[in-house]
Amino acid sequence: MSVVAERPRTTGAPLAPAAAPPRRRVSPERVAAGLTLLGLLVASLLALRSVDIDPARMLQSWSNAERFLGRVGAIEFPPLGELLQLTALTLGLVICGTLLAAVLSVPVAVLAASNTTPGPAWRAAARFVTVLARAVPDVVLAMVFVLLFTLGTLPGILAIGLHSVGMISKLFADAIEQIDEGPRTAVRAAGGTRLQQFTAGVLPQVLPSWVATVLHRNDINLRGSVILGYVGVVGLGMQMSFAFKSLQYGLGLGYALVIFVLCVVMEIVSSSVRAAMLGIAPTGRGLGDRVVRRATRRRGARGQEAAAPETAGSAAGSTRASGAAVGEPTRASGAAAGEPTRASGVPSARVEAALRRPWDRARRRSVTWGWAAVAVVVASVLVCDIAWSDLLTVWGGVPAVAVQFWPPSFGSYEASTMIAAMGETISIALAATLLTVGGSLLVGSLAARNVAPSPGVRSGMRLLLVGIRGVPEVILAIVLIVVTGLGTQAGTLALALGGVGLLGKLIADSFEEVAPGPERALTATGASRTQVYASATLPQGTRALIGHTFYMLDTNLRAATLLGIVGAGGVGYYLLNASQGSNYATVTAIVLMILVTVLAVEGLAIWMRRVFR
């Protein structure tokens, strides 16, 4: 009885803390970052108004679409032979460009990684190259190279190659910095040189991630090749741009469809290569990864069974061929113990037999993939029919071209026009990011296992995300332009829609990775599903959300500068005009504007990530 009386809750007196808790101190940097975030949000809202997205007009444009579809008639395709040839050319060009970047990225990454760089100055220089390569759009590079080489595939290969160095070497350098230093120390302790430490201790560890990055970049480059066609790089993209310019919408959409299918097929292929060659489980976010995962799930169980006990067949005389790990090693080779192991003598029969590597599963697989890779590379180079001599003769033309590009000037345009155009590009990026974040929060949350009300909803949302990701943004923009007409609206919607595919997936993954403890604790207190989401899941995922959002803004800004080239608003339109009108000084001026903006956003993103870490 007395126990009950002692319980404070029964007294009815409200619980109050004895003293006010100490106020949490917020660093000025965090305040500044918070204000910046708020500023960006306001700017995005204003941008959303300025890009003219309103539902009424969208409904109106729907009737446009109907009219348009009537005008297009049937989707047409070029003759099959021509189509195949163009497809091979596009693929070959993209693969050659990616390969060039892959090769160039190795020295850059080694210099840029903190644990392999010869000195801080080298590292700074390499990092600068990385950032610069990423900031200069491949379209701009292509414009310059088209001017230098006029014909052939070299402009496209060089543009893709030089631009891709940025991303590949950045990710490669990150991978090098994350290696386990142990094997490298072991090589060092065995007396290996710096170069040997790298090839024997570092390279084998990072090779899989390097290959994966290169394959991933190849997918991106294939999507990007569409836009390169608009500035004169041969291939499917160029034919498509011709078709649209000559108002053959049916044919243009036919090309767009072919490119779309090609992108999907390529993703499936690169995903299965990653899975098969590297033994990396396809956990990626792309459509390809999904298909491969489905296809290999059934085979997986059987494969593991077969792979495990395979030992060197010719050494099967051994008593331990069963492969049981327990082994009684020390006496096992009793005969060999007294034998000189100093390799001066004749090798034993077992050693002799073991010299021949058995054709086991692993070896068959790696040899097959190795030769397949060689075949693809050779075929790509052959298909491209590269005019190697151009690489030597081109240097004579460089001074003349360089003079045209420098000094930068806006030429016939008013500076205010160009700044307004750049502002429009930034508006598109901001508005698209805002729409993307809104859409992704909804779709991404519902696609997260721990948020979705049912597994069915989750798979539905995941499938939706994958479907969106499959469509190249440029194609999306082109189709939207055809439907809604030229302008910022099409660009914004294309970026926003494409962004949902990526950001939604990232958000879903981050939410699934949050610690489950707090969610369970809240569920145990009787909180509803939405309460758990708002009080446990969302707060834990916020940090990742901010990081991903800035990544999105960064990507959108780069994409927005280019969408103008296909007529989706912003500074890209002037870029294309200037290049086609041979006003190269204006091209330089616009590129410098883009560079400054992209670098500013990147710096902002780095700062934000640091502050909200």
Partner 1 sequence: MTPHADTAARAASGPASAAAPGPSSAPGDTVVALEGITKRFGETVALDDASLTVARGEVVVLLGLSGSGKSTLLRHVDGLERPTSGTVRVLGREVTRLSGRALRELRSEVGFIFQQFELVPSLTVLENVLTGSLATVRGPRLGLWSYGRAAKVEALARLERVGLLDRAYQRADTLSGGQQQRVAIARALMQRPQVLLADEPVASLDPESSDQVMALIREIAADEGLTVICSLHQVDLALSWADRIVGLRHGQVVLDTETEGLSKAQVMEIYGRVATSTDQFEAIELELSAGGAGGAESGAGAAAGPAGAAPVAGDAVR
Least distance in angstroms from the C-beta of 323 to partner 1: 8
Number of shown-chain residues binding partner 1 (CB under 8 A) = 59
Least distance in angstroms from the C-beta of 377 to partner 1: 18
Least distance in angstroms from the C-beta of 189 to partner 1: 4
488 Cβ neighbours under 8 A, 6+ residues apart: 50, 51, 52, 424, 427, 428, 568, 569, 570
Least distance in angstroms from the C-beta of 343 to partner 1: 4
- Going by the DSSP 8-state scheme, the letter that residue 23 receives in this structure is P
3-state secondary structure 433-490: HHHHHHHHHHHHHHCCCCCCCCHHHHHHHHHHHHHHHHCCHHHHHHHHHHHHCCCHHH
Instruction: Give the separation between CA 428 and CA 564, rounded to whole angstroms.
Output: 10
Least distance in angstroms from the C-beta of 362 to partner 1: 7
Task: Out of 87, 318, 409, 450, name the contact with partner 1 by CB under 8 A.
Answer: 318
328 touches partner 1 by CB under 8 A: yes
Footprint of partner 1 on 179-218 (CB under 8 A): 180, 182-183, 185-193, 195-196, 198-201, 203-205, 207-208
Q: Which stretch binds partner 1 (CB under 8 A): 130-138, 226-234, 297-305, 359-367?
A: 359-367
366 vs 542, beta carbon nearer partner 1:
366
411 touches partner 1 by CB under 8 A: no
116 vs 510, beta carbon nearer partner 1:
116
Q: ω into residue 408 within 30 of 0, thus cis?
A: no
- Going by the DSSP 8-state scheme, the letter that residue 485 receives in this structure is -
Hey, how many other C-beta atoms are within 10 angstroms of the C-beta on 320? 15
325 touches partner 1 by CB under 8 A: yes
Task: Out of 13, 18, 42, 326, name the contact with partner 1 by CB under 8 A.
Answer: 326
Footprint of partner 1 on 243-282 (CB under 8 A): none
Residue 38 DSSP SS3: helix
* Helices and strands counted in the chain (H then E): 28, 0
Q: Are 230 and 565 in contact (CB under 8 A)?
A: yes
Q: Are 603 and 421 in contact (CB under 8 A)?
A: no
Q: Which stretch binds partner 1 (CB under 8 A): 282-290, 322-330, 489-497, 529-537?
A: 322-330
Instruction: Give the separation between CA 522 and CA 528, rounded to whole angstroms.
Output: 9
Selection from 540, 537, 550, 538 nearest residue 609 by Cα: 550
Q: Which tokens sit at 293? A: 């995962």
Task: Out of 31, 124, 332, 403, name the contact with partner 1 by CB under 8 A.
Answer: 332
Least distance in angstroms from the C-beta of 81 to partner 1: 41
5 vs 355, beta carbon nearer partner 1:
355
74 vs 355, beta carbon nearer partner 1:
355
Start-end of H helices in 279-360: 287-307, 329-332, 334-337, 349-355
Least distance in angstroms from the C-beta of 267 to partner 1: 25
192 vs 470, beta carbon nearer partner 1:
192
Task: Out of 38, 121, 316, 374, name the contact with partner 1 by CB under 8 A.
Answer: 316
85 touches partner 1 by CB under 8 A: no
- Going by the DSSP 8-state scheme, the letter that residue 320 receives in this structure is T
310 vs 385, beta carbon nearer partner 1:
310
Least distance in angstroms from the C-beta of 345 to partner 1: 9
281 vs 321, beta carbon nearer partner 1:
321
Instruction: From residue 105, give the alpha-carbon distance in Å to each of 134, 168, 210, 402.
Output: 12, 6, 10, 26
Instruction: Give the separation between CA 464 and CA 444, rounded to whole angstroms.
Output: 10
Least distance in angstroms from the C-beta of 202 to partner 1: 9
Task: Out of 293, 350, 365, 609, name the contact with partner 1 by CB under 8 A.
Answer: 350
Selection from 569, 403, 588 nearest residue 486 by Cα: 569
Q: Let me know if 244 is exposed, middle or buried by CB neighbors in 10 A (0-12, 13-18, 19+).
A: buried
Footprint of partner 1 on 361-390 (CB under 8 A): 362-363
Q: Are 504 and 447 in contact (CB under 8 A)?
A: yes
Q: Which stretch binds partner 1 (CB under 8 A): 176-184, 265-273, 298-306, 391-399?
A: 176-184
Footprint of partner 1 on 452-511 (CB under 8 A): none
Instruction: Give the separation between CA 111 and CA 202, rounded to whole angstroms.
Output: 14
Instruction: Give the separation between CA 221 and CA 211, rounded to whole angstroms.
Output: 15
Least distance in angstroms from the C-beta of 107 to partner 1: 14
486 Cβ neighbours under 8 A, 6+ residues apart: 567, 568, 569
Q: Which stretch binds partner 1 (CB under 8 A): 309-317, 387-395, 465-473, 603-611?
A: 309-317
Least distance in angstroms from the C-beta of 371 to partner 1: 14
Interface with partner 1 (CB under 8 A): 180, 182-183, 185-193, 195-196, 198-201, 203-205, 207-208, 308, 311-312, 315-316, 318, 320-321, 323, 325-330, 332-333, 336-338, 340-343, 347-348, 350-352, 354-355, 357-358, 360, 362-363
